Structure 1
Amino acid sequence: MLLAMGFEAACAMLPTERDRTDAALERYRVAFATMRPSALPPTTSDPNYVLFADVLQHVLSSHLKPADPERLVDTAVAGLRKKQQDDRTAGERALTESAIEAMLASLDPYSGLLDTEHVRDIRDQMHGEFPGLGMVVTPDDRSGLLRVVSADVNTPAARAGVRAGDLIARIDDREVNGLSLHEAVMTVRGPSGGSVTLLLRRPGNDVPLLVSVTRTIVRSEPVLHRLEDGVAYIRITHFNEQTSRLVHEAFDAMKGQTDSELAGLVLDLRDNPGGLFEQGVRVADAFLGAVDIVSTRGRVSDVQHYSGGTDDDVARDLPLAVLIDSGTTSAAEVVAGALQDRHRALLFGERSYGKGSVQTIFQLAGGDGLLLTTARYFRPSGGPVECFGIVPNVTVSPAGRPPPSGTWIRAAASVETHPDPATCDPDAVAPPPPRTWTMAELCPEVARRPVQSGVDRPLHCAVAAIRTNRFERATTK
C-alpha cells in the first residue's frame, strides 16, 4: 500500500453541491429509520449519523474520482439492508459501518474505514513493530476471497506456510466470500498469542490447505543485506519510517567489508507491498540525486512533482540491478520506475503488480480513520503505473525469491498476479516500453541451467551480468 500519512480535512463545497449532498443525507436518515425499532430517523447529532456524514463529505471532496452523492447513498443503503438481512441483531454501529463499507467498496479496492485500533496498528507498522500475522492481503475480485500479496520472511504467516498468491477462503469458522476487506481484517486481528485458522486455496493445488497461525508481536525488518560474490545485495521488504536510513547503513556496511571494492549493487524489491510514499522517494533519491522521481495527480489538486533532495548517488559508478515481480507493489514501484526511467538501473524479473494510487488517512470523529484513494502517481517518463505496472528490462522466470530454510518453497512463484482489468482506466495511455535484453545476452550461463526449485534465477542473472561486465557494456551502447 502507498500511504500518505497525515490528517486531512475535507474541502468546502459549492452551494449547489451542498444542497445535493444534504438531500442525499436526508434520504439516508429516512432509510436508516426503517432499521430502528422506533422508526424515527437518527438526529443530525447522532454519533453514527455524524460518522456516516463525515465519511461522505470526505469522499465527495477528496476521492480521486468525482462521485454523485445520491449514487453513493444508494450504495450505502443497499449495504444497510444487506447487513440487516444477514444479521437481524446488528446494532446501529454495525449497520453504519456496513453502509460505509459498501459505499467505499464501490469506489476502489483500497479505500476503507479504519477503527481506532486499526489506525493505531497502521502507525505501529510504520514504526516497525505491531501485533499480527505478518502478511499483506488484498481483495481478489475474481474469486471474492482475500489474496495474499506477501508474507514477510520470519513472520508467523510465513512460518505456518502462507505464501504470496494464496487465496484465503475461510478465517476460523467465518467464510471470507461476502466479507468486506475491513471485516476480514478485523476477523484476523486479535491479541498476541492467539491463533487464527486459515483455509487456503493455492493456485495449482486442487486440495485446500488448512493452516494455524499464532499472532505475535511482529518486529519488521524492512532492509536485509549481504555480499553476493562481491556484489552488494540489499533487499527491501517494505517501506516504513526506517527504510531509507537502513538502506544507507546497509550499503555503507558492505562497502566497509570490501574496502569499497564492490563490483555492483542489487536492490531486491520482490514481494514488497509498499508502505510510506515519502520513503519510496527517499530510497530512489539515494541513487538518483536531485531529479524528478515521481509525480502525483489528484482530483482536487494540480500535478505535484517529487524530486530528490541530494546531488549525490551513494553507489556512484557502480552498476545497479533491481529485482521485481508481481508482488512488487506501490512504493516499491515508485523506486523501480524512477530508476528505470532515469537509466540508472536495469530491472530483472517479471512485471510488477501495478498499483499506482496513493491512499491518505483522514482522521474522523471519535478516533476512527478513513483510508481514501486521493491520487494516482506517474513515473518520470509520464507513464502511469496503475494496472500497467513496471516492465523489466530482462525477463527472468520464475521471478519469486526462494524462502529461507524451514519454510515452504514458493511453488506459485511463476504465477503472476495483477489488478482486475475491469478496475483499470480504459482510456489510460500505456507507458513507453523499456529497452529489453534476453537472459542469453546478459547471463547466458544462468539461462542455460535448468530451472530448479529454490534457485534464485533473477539474482543469479543480475550478479552474473554485473560480474562479467555484460551489464555495463549493454547499458553504454
Structure 2
Amino acid sequence: MMRKTDFVFWTFLTMTGLAGATTVLNVTQTYSAASPNSELYRQLDLFGDVFERVRSDYVEKPDDTMLIENAINGMLAALDPHSSYMSPKHYRDMQVQTRGEFGGLGIEVTMENGVVKVVAPIDETPAAKAGILSNDLITHLDNDQISGLTLEQAVEKMRGPVNTPITLTIMRQGRDEPFDIKIVRDFIRINAVRSRVEGDIAYIRLTTFNEKTHANLVKAMDDLKKEIGPKLKGYVLDLRNNPGGLLDQAIAVSDDFLDQGSIVLTKGRNNEETQRAQARPGDTADGKPIVVLINGGSASASEIVAGALKDHKRATVIGTRSFGKGSVQTIIPLGANGAIRLTTARYYTPSNRSIQAKGIDPDIVVEQELPEELKSARQERNRGEAGLRGHLKGETRDEEKAKADEAKAKADEEKKQEESGSSAYVPQEAEKDTQLQYALKFLRGEIPVEETVAKPAQQPSNTAEEQKSPVPN
C-alpha cells in the first residue's frame, strides 16, 4: 500500500519527468533514520500532510492540479526570480513568442510590490501607440485590482482576442493621480531588427533576440551597405531596452562582428558544465567602427553582446549601466505537463567578468536627457537585477571563498556594481535622443578626446523590490 508521502513524491516526480513508480518504491525501501536523505523524506512527509489537510478540510473543494502547480511554482520561485513552472498553455505561448509572433498589447512587464511594472513598450505595438512608458505601474485591468494576482495571471488577463479593448489604470512617476489608458488588443509581430540610414552612419536597433534576429541583422547590414556606399563611416548597434532572449542568437550576433576569441562563458554548478562560445573568422562590418548603445533596459542576451564586443575592443559601448541579468535559464520540457524554466548557469564576459547583478558598464557614460514630466522622478530609476528579490549573486560560493582575501579592498567597488540598472527612457524622436546623437558624433570624430573618458554614473538608491523577470504580453 502506498503511503501518503509516496503518493505525493510519485506525483511530483511524474510531473517533473524525473522518475516513475519504480523509483518511488526504491525511495520507500531506503527510507530509514540512517539514510542520508532521511531529512528530505521527513520534509516530504510534511508536504504530504499539508496537502492532504488542504484537500480534506479547506472550506471549498480545491483543485488538486492547481495545488500541485502552485506548490511547484512556489518551490521554483524561492530559488531566484527567473525560475518558474510553465503550464502546457504557457509553454506553448513561450514557444510562439520566441518565433516573434503572439497576441497581446506589446509590452514587457515585471512585478513590483504587487503591481505590474512596465519594463518597456515594444515598438509599433498597441501599447506603444497608446502612450505606455517604461516604469509605468499598472494597478487595475478593466477596473479590477491586480493586487493578489501573480505576474502570469495578470499577463493572462491582458491577453485576449484580437480587436478587443482593455482599460489599464496607470500610475506614472511625476503624476499625482492614476489615470486610465484604453488599448485595443492586436496580433503582435515583433520585428527584431530595425534599421535606417543616419547620413554616413548605419543605425541598427535590436529589439529582442528571437529566432529571426541574426538572419534579419545580416540582411539589414547588407541593405545599409548598399544604400550608404563607400562613404559608410560605421555602425550604431542599439541594444537599449532590449530584454534579451535566445542565447544562440546572442552568440551569433556577437560572432557577426568578431573574427576570433571567446564570446561568452557559462558556468554551471560543476566545473564540467563550464562552456565557452568561440567566434569564427569573418566580420560582417568589415572592420568599420561600431558603437553599442545600452541602458537600464538592456538585459541578458543584450549584455552578452555588449560585453563581448567591449572586452575585445571591437566596439565602444555608450550609454548607462545595463540591467545585470547574467544567469542562464534552461527550458526543461515535462511532456504533457508543460515545462520548467530553471536557472542552470551564470554568464561571464570573455574577460571572465560576471554580468549577474552587476551589468555592463559603458566605456563612455552618457545620460539620456529626460522630459520635464519625468525629471522629478529621476531618483526612482530601476536598480536592475540587483533590485529583484532573491536574485543570484554575481559569483559562485567557491569563487567568493577564493577571493575572500580581496573582499575588503573591493567592497566599495562591488557595492557600486551591485546597483545594476539605470534609466530606461529612450525618446521616440531621434533629434531628442541624447545618447544616439552622441554616438553619431563619436563615429564622425566630432567628440573631443577629453569627453571620451568614461565616468561613473550616479546610482541613486531605490528600495522597491521587483519580484519577477520581464514577461512579454
TM category (shorter chain) comes to: 0.7 to 0.9
- Give the deviation of 1:268 after TM superposition: 0.2
Q: Which residue of 381, 384, 406 corresponds with 1:416? A: 381
In structure 2, relative to structure 1, the CA distance for the partners of 1:411 and 1:191 (3 Å cut) is farther
Deviation at 1:316, TM superposition (A): 2.7
TM-score by length of 1: 0.74
Q: Deviations over 1:24-68 (max 9, x none)?
A: 33322221111224x6xxxxxxxxxxxxxxxxxxxxxxxxxxxxx
Deviating above 6 A after TM superposition, structure 1's stretches of 4 or more consecutive aligned residues are 11-15, 409-413, 429-433, 471-476
| Aligned: 1:193 with 2:163 | yes
Shift of 1:201: 1.8
Q: CA deviation at 1:216?
A: 1.5
8 Å Cα contact 2:99-2:211 kept in structure 1? yes
- Aligned with 1:466 (options 433, 443, 446): 443
Question: How many angstroms does 1:267 deviate by?
Answer: 0.2
Q: CA deviation at 1:186?
A: 2.5
Report the equivalent of 2:74: 102
Q: Check whether the contact 2:264–2:348 (CA below 8 A) recurs between aligned residues.
A: yes
Q: Any conservation in 1 of the 2:258–2:314 contact (CA below 8 Å)?
A: yes
**Alignment match of 1:229 (pick from 170, 191, 199):** 199
- The aligned runs of 1:6-155 (5 Å cut-off) are 19-37=38-56, 88=60, 90-140=62-112, 143-155=113-125
Question: Once the 2 structures are TM-superposed, how far is the Cα of residue 162 of structure 1 from its aligned partner?
Answer: 1.5
Aligned equivalents of 2:227 and 2:449: distance in 1?
23
User: Which amino acid in structure 1 is aligned with residue 302 of structure 2?
Assistant: A
Stretches of structure 1 lacking an aligned partner (at least 5 in a row): 1-7, 40-83, 403-408, 434-451
Name the structure 2 match of 1:397.
Answer: 367
Asked if 2 retains the 8 angstrom alpha-carbon contact of 1:112 and 1:371, the reply is yes
Q: Percent identity?
A: 36
Distance 1:473 1:223, change over 3 A: farther
Q: Are the equivalent residues in 1 in contact too, given 2:356–2:393 (CA < 8 A)?
A: no
The 1-side partners of 2:75 and 2:86 are apart by 14
TM-score, normalisation: structure 2: 0.75
Compute the displacement of 1:128 (Å).
1.4
What is the CA–CA distance in structure 2 between the aligned matches of 1:118 and 1:26, rounded to whole Å?
30
CA contact (8 A) 2:174 2:374 kept: no
Distance 1:419 1:204 in 2: 24
Q: Residue deviations 1:278-308, cap 9 Å, x none?
A: 1011101111133111111222563533334
Distance in 1, Cα, partners of 2:412 & 2:275: 20
> Please, which runs of 5 or more residues in structure 2 have no aligned partner?
1-15, 401-409, 414-428, 454-473
Structure 1 residues 123-178: Cα deviation after superposition (integer angstroms, max 9, x where no partner): 111111111111111222xx332221121111121122222111222233443333
Residue in structure 2 matched with residue 179 of structure 1 by the alignment = 149
In structure 2, which of residues 228, 240, 250 is the aligned counterpart of residue 258 of structure 1? Answer: 228
Separation in structure 2 between the aligned mates of residue 197 and residue 17 of structure 1, nearest angstrom: 55
Residue 355, structure 1, aligned to residue 325, structure 2: yes
Q: Distance in 2 between matches of 1:196 and 1:19?
A: 52
Q: Secondary structure at the match of 1:461?
A: helix
SS class of match (1:302): helix
1:89/1:33 Cα in 2 relative to 1: closer, same or farther (>3 Å)?
closer
Does 2:133 align with 1:163? yes
Offset of 1:329 from its aligned partner? 0.8
Partner of 1:456: 433
Tell me whether 1:346 sits opposite 2:316 in the alignment.
Answer: yes
Whether the 8 Å CA contact 2:84–2:340 is kept in 1: the answer is: yes
1:374-389 map, 5 Å:
374-389=344-359
8 Å Cα contact 2:357-2:394 kept in structure 1: no
Residue deviations 1:426-470 (CA, integer Å, cap 9, x gap): 67478999xxxxxxxxxxxxxxxxxx9970111110110111265
The letter of the residue matching 1:266 is V
* Residues 1:364 and 1:155: Cα distance change in structure 2 (over 3 Å): same
Contact 1:293/1:380 (CA < 8 Å) preserved in 2?
A: yes
Q: Is the 8 A contact 1:384 1:431 kept in 2?
A: no
Contact 2:80 2:392 in 1 (8 A): no
Mapped partners of 2:199, 2:337: distance in 1: 51
Per-residue CA distance 1:76-103 (angstroms, 9 max, x = gap) = xxxxxxxx68xx4642222333322222
Indicate yes or no: 2:256 matched with 1:290. no
Which residue identity is paired with 2:355? V
Aligned length: 396
Distance in structure 2 (CA, Å) of the matches to 1:146 and 1:187: 12
**Alpha-carbon distance in 2 for matches of 1:238, 1:250:** 15
Once the two structures are superposed, residues 373-425 of structure 1 have per-residue CA deviations (whole angstroms, 9 ceiling, x without a partner) of: 2211111111111111111111112178x9xxxxxx98799563113456455
